[in-house]
Copies of this chain bind each other. A is one copy, B any other.
Amino acid sequence: MPALNHIPPEIRCALDYETQAPRFIAAPTLAYIEGGSGHDRSVVANRAAYARWAITPRLLRDVSAGNTGVTLAGMNMAHPLMLGPVAFHNLVHPGGERETVRAAAAMDCPVIASTQSSCTLEQLAQSAGPQRWFQMYLQPQRADTLDLLRRAEAAGYGAIVLTLDAPIQVASLRTLAAQFQLPPQCVPVNLAGYTAAQEPAVAAGASRILQGLMAAAPSWDELRWLVGQTRLPVWAKGVMHADDALALRAAGVAGIIVSNHGGRSLDGAPATLDVLPAIRAALGTDMPIVFDGGIRSGSDVFKALALGADAVAIGRLQLYALAVAGALGVAHMLKLLREELEICMALAGCASIEDIRATALFHQRDHHVNHD
């Protein structure tokens, strides 16, 4: 069904955009979007982790001067929500990314544009609000990487997000079973003219994975090189271990995005929410963390913030909302998420995002009482 030009009455919370999506997205495409990698274990894990935590209501706190504003590496945000990089929005709506980012701009929501967008980064920038970052992969040729970087700078993107966690991507088995194929209009127009990644021929006895696909994987040297090529802050996306976070900070990245690529990279990676506390503990408070993975409600956002995130990135939910009602749907989804977050803040007595600490949560195993 094509996207509506109104919000259907079945949408009562942000999660409902996922519930309604099957009416608007063809089954194989939906399998591709919903799927992760392999058996989708990390997709499931990301979602399940939120249920381990409850939010403790607090009483009589004055939150009437409160707000959801955060400052993220110098960027003043009206709320801690971002749209994360998701490829090919034209899979679910002919308007593609331009539709999405118009909605984001209207809701004061920064966007992280994907290299794999269905319009160019320059076109996307024209529709987007001023708070836009550009997500990229290191290209096979350094010249191409530099060109992409310069174009992003020229188009006014405020930060570079380097995705590090997907040197190999294994399709979801259910996506394969659904026989999904990228339709012809889904081409990475941003990369037109660049040298495409090619699976290198490997010597006899060598590994198609280790000597093949991984030969082109980014390295610490390349990361440092990229950081040195631009005055824009560089963020690293895909961090799942505290030691990597520390090393990335030492290498000059401006911030990290805790992510397992929405479960689309290593099937069986931990839930992002589960690794977040240790990463925050290692970094202390002077390094910004954006978080993604399974966010579907304001209480999910609240929990991620409580466990150490400064902001969260919305992934699949933007496609679902786009499919249901275009830009209107995306804007409404963001409004719902923000209000759901505000309700959690109000009832947990947090007047600001800073007030949202781990102490605001209750671990579902903390109920034990010592026998007297």
Interface residues of chain A, those whose CB is within 8 Å of chain B, are 12-13, 38, 41-42, 45, 49, 51-52, 54-60, 62-68, 78, 164-165, 167-168, 170, 173, 176, 205, 207-211, 213-215, 217-220, 223, 236, 238-241, 244, 247-248, 260, 265-271, 273-275, 277, 281, 297, 299, 307, 339, 342-348, 351, 357-359, 361-369, 371-372
Contacts and interface: CB of A to CB of B under 8 A. Distances in A.
A56 B269 contact: yes
A41 B300 CA distance: 13
A244 B58 contact: yes
Given A210-B66, A347-B168, A357-B372, A38 B13 contact: yes
Nearest to A220: B60
Contacts of A366: 274
A209 B165 contact: no
A359 B343 contact: no
A112 B89 CA distance: 52
Contact of A210 (B42, B176, B345): B345
A317 to B, nearest CB: 16
B218 A275 contact: no
B57 A238 contact: yes
A354 B238 CA distance: 24
A45 B54 contact: yes
Nearest to A173: B12
A217 B266 contact: no
A77 to B, nearest CB: 13
20 contacts: A49-B367, A54-B269, A56-B240, A57-B165, A57-B238, A59-B165, A60-B247, A62-B217, A63-B210, A64-B210, A64-B214, A64-B215, A65-B210, A66-B214, A67-B210, A209-B342, A209-B346, A359-B371, A359-B372, A363-B369
A54 B270 contact: yes
A207 B339 CA distance: 8
Contacts of A265: 57, 347
B220 A56 contact: no
